[in-house]
Amino acid sequence: MKKATDSAATPAEKKIRSAERDMIALGIAIAAAILFVGTGGTLMPQIVKAWFFGGNQPDLLLANALLLNIALLIFGWRRYRDLHKEIRVRREAEERARRLAERDPLTGCLNRRSGPPALEALRTALADTDREIAVMMIDLDNFKQINDLNGHQLGDRVLTTIARRIEDTLPHDGVVARIGGDEFVCGVPFDHNARNAVDNLVAMIVRNTSAPIESNQMTVEATVSVGIAESGAKYAGGGTMNAEALIHRADIAMYHAKKRGRNRYYWFESQMEDELRFRNELESGIRRGIPAGEFVPYYEQQIDLATGKLTGFEMLARWESPRYGLVSPEIFIPIAEEIDLIGELSERLITQALEDAKGWDPALTLSVNISPIQLRDPWFAQKLLHLLLESGFPPSRLEIEITEGCLHENMGAVRSIVTSLKNQGISISLDDFGTGYSSLSQLRSLPIDRLKIDRSFISELAHQREGRALVEAMVSLGKGLSLPVTAEGVENSEVLGQLQGMGNLQGQGYHYGKPEDAAATRKRLASLDMLNKDNVTAITGQATSANDQRKAS
């Protein structure tokens, strides 16, 4: 019965009971010791006398009391010993539990819970000294990709290796914690007039962590982006900053490093916070704007340079933002890619563009730009074919533009997507050609239909002789590979003249006008008598393109 109540007791109750028992045992032991001193003091000489010199026998009652006393002393001693052991075991268990609770089981670093307090402790310890603490936020670049492409086992291996490399690089009084999947935060003390010591340290971390990591005959390279914030900083706002605030600032600076191309570090500066706020506003604007239909296709003419004939249009996305006005894709496409909305955005735009293009002369083609992120989606080809099927637009009139950068990412996957699109009759153009270092063997191994020379080379034509040699080299490369070539960014008649002298090229650019929305494009086509005669909307001239419908509603 007793046992049952004991086991039902809470740990706190058990602790109180065992403390009560220990108090009683201690009381008994003390009483026994006092008694032993009292009785033993008079009785022992009597016993010794009786044994060795045959004196009077000691009082039996007192002798028994002394024996009992000795038994109690032995009991007390043993209890003390057990207690001692119990405390040691409990302390060890507590220590183990504490270590488990504050350590990250994978890397052995401090974890998300214990890291910030450890930094705070370091910061307060330095408060009245000449030293300050630099807090560094270290984030792996492309860790998700490493995980996705190579599996979680290798991902774990990368994390443990990076953690060890960071620990090995930090000074002995540094603190390192893993506070997210692929995020580490560190704190190091430094002399406040030797900030460059921190620069050197962080540069070393960036360098050391990027060394190749080998596992099971696979080699991966993982780089890091780092943001740094210092405790005694004289930024706007001033005042003392606790560890949490420093981590926040280091995080903002880390984000800045990511934006500036990764594999680098930045010290926090207060304008970074404003940039981030603006970036977040844009992000929520994009999230709201997609379902609200604020993103619309614009169209840029594509011309046969020899004949001057219009051959088709390239669709270029625009954001008609109620807050910011007409926003360039250079601003919102990278954000949409980052927040994983590029697929949805692109599909909506393509749907609208297909609808618009159905109203054009059937000889005209439609080109759409596809982000490298979309090519990572194994269902991309199916999704695009589904859009074509739904709209009834012939695949042979559609071209997709992929940038050279795509080819470095995952050549195998890109090849299989591109091949299945091509099998359905869609054409593939290699966009921004000349900027992405694609090799000849890559060009030959992909079923590409066209090269589009990047506009940076074309604009050089007007000013530089070497520019001309480069463009000529690219044009003859196209000839050698039997690929037609488009020149982007034809801005004036002088450039046009030079290009016309290089062979049979297609071209596009401001020389032919800026990209226009669906309604203006229709108007242009109407004036050229190039609207689709079979399309009812073309004959009635009603504004029924997806974009116009949206505007009308």
- Can you give the binding site for ligand C2E, defined by CB under 6 A? 300, 316-317, 328-330, 333, 346, 349, 369-371, 431-432, 455, 488-491, 509-510, 515
Q: Shortest gap between Cβ of 489 and ligand C2E (angstroms)? A: 4
Closest to 387 measured CA to CA, from 429, 332, 335, 424: 424
Residue 471 CB neighbours (<10 A): 23
Q: Return the structure tokens found at 395.
A: 């695949």
Q: Shortest gap between Cβ of 194 and Ca ion (angstroms)? A: 47
| Cα distances (angstroms) measured from residue 431 to each of 119, 200, 262 | 48, 40, 24
254 versus 421: smaller Cβ distance to ligand C2E: 421
Q: What residue 107 binds from Ca ion, ligand C2E, none (CB within 5 to 8 A, per partner kind)?
A: none
359 versus 509: smaller Cβ distance to ligand C2E: 509
> CB–CB of 8/20 below 8 Å?
no
Q: Shortest gap between Cβ of 437 and ligand C2E (angstroms)? A: 17
Q: What residue 336 binds from ligand C2E, Ca ion, none (CB within 5 to 8 A, per partner kind)?
A: none
Q: What distance in Å separates the CA atoms of residue 162 and residue 302, rounded to the nearest whole number?
A: 49
Helix 518-527 and helix 342-357: axis angle, to 10°? 30
* Site for Ca ion, rule CB under 5 A: 369, 401, 431-432, 488
251 versus 432: smaller Cβ distance to ligand C2E: 432
182 versus 401: smaller Cβ distance to Ca ion: 401
131 versus 450: smaller Cβ distance to ligand C2E: 450
Q: What distance in Å separates the CA atoms of residue 362 and residue 393, rounded to the nearest whole number?
A: 10
Torsional class of 138: left (φ above 0), alpha (ψ -120 to 50), beta (otherwise): beta
Ranked by CB distance to ligand C2E, the top (closest) residue is 509
Q: What residue 320 binds from ligand C2E, Ca ion, none (CB within 5 to 8 A, per partner kind)?
A: none
CA angle (450, 454, 457) in 5-degree steps: 125
126 versus 316: smaller Cβ distance to ligand C2E: 316
Q: What residue 346 binds from ligand C2E, Ca ion, none (CB within 5 to 8 A, per partner kind)?
A: ligand C2E
317 versus 538: smaller Cβ distance to Ca ion: 317
Q: What distance in Å separates the CA atoms of residue 246 and residue 230, rounded to the nearest whole number?
A: 7
Q: Shortest gap between Cβ of 432 and ligand C2E (angstroms)? A: 6
Closest to 297 measured CA to CA, from 510, 491, 519, 542: 519
Q: Shortest gap between Cβ of 343 and Ca ion (angstroms)? A: 18
Q: Shortest gap between Cβ of 235 and ligand C2E (angstroms)? A: 35
Q: Tell me the one-letter amino acid at 57.
A: Q
Q: What are the two backbone dihedrals, phi and then psi, of residue 29, each rounded to the nearest 5 degrees?
A: -65, -40
Q: What residue 548 binds from ligand C2E, Ca ion, none (CB within 5 to 8 A, per partner kind)?
A: none
Helices (H), 323-433: 329-338, 342-357, 372-375, 380-391, 406-409, 411-423
Q: What distance in Å separates the CA atoms of residue 125 and residue 190, rounded to the nearest whole number?
A: 13
336 versus 538: smaller Cβ distance to ligand C2E: 336
Q: What residue 77 binds from ligand C2E, Ca ion, none (CB within 5 to 8 A, per partner kind)?
A: none
Q: What residue 384 binds from Ca ion, ligand C2E, none (CB within 5 to 8 A, per partner kind)?
A: none
> CB–CB of 436/466 below 8 Å?
no
Q: What distance in Å separates the CA atoms of residue 541 and residue 527, rounded to the nearest whole number?
A: 12
Q: What residue 510 binds from Ca ion, ligand C2E, none (CB within 5 to 8 A, per partner kind)?
A: ligand C2E
230 versus 488: smaller Cβ distance to ligand C2E: 488
- Between strands 398-403 and 427-433, the pairing is parallel
Q: What residue 509 binds from ligand C2E, Ca ion, none (CB within 5 to 8 A, per partner kind)?
A: ligand C2E
Q: Shortest gap between Cβ of 104 and ligand C2E (angstroms)? A: 38
Q: Shortest gap between Cβ of 303 and ligand C2E (angstroms)? A: 11
Closest to 351 measured CA to CA, from 332, 366, 331, 365: 366
Helix 152-169 and helix 195-209: axis angle, to 10°? 150
Q: Shortest gap between Cβ of 515 and ligand C2E (angstroms)? A: 5
> CB–CB of 422/391 below 8 Å?
no
Q: Shortest gap between Cβ of 435 and Ca ion (angstroms)? A: 9
Q: What residue 371 binds from Ca ion, ligand C2E, none (CB within 5 to 8 A, per partner kind)?
A: ligand C2E
Q: What residue 400 binds from ligand C2E, Ca ion, none (CB within 5 to 8 A, per partner kind)?
A: none
231 versus 369: smaller Cβ distance to Ca ion: 369
Q: Shortest gap between Cβ of 238 and Ca ion (angstroms)? A: 47
169 versus 302: smaller Cβ distance to Ca ion: 302
Closest to 295 measured CA to CA, from 337, 323, 343, 332: 332
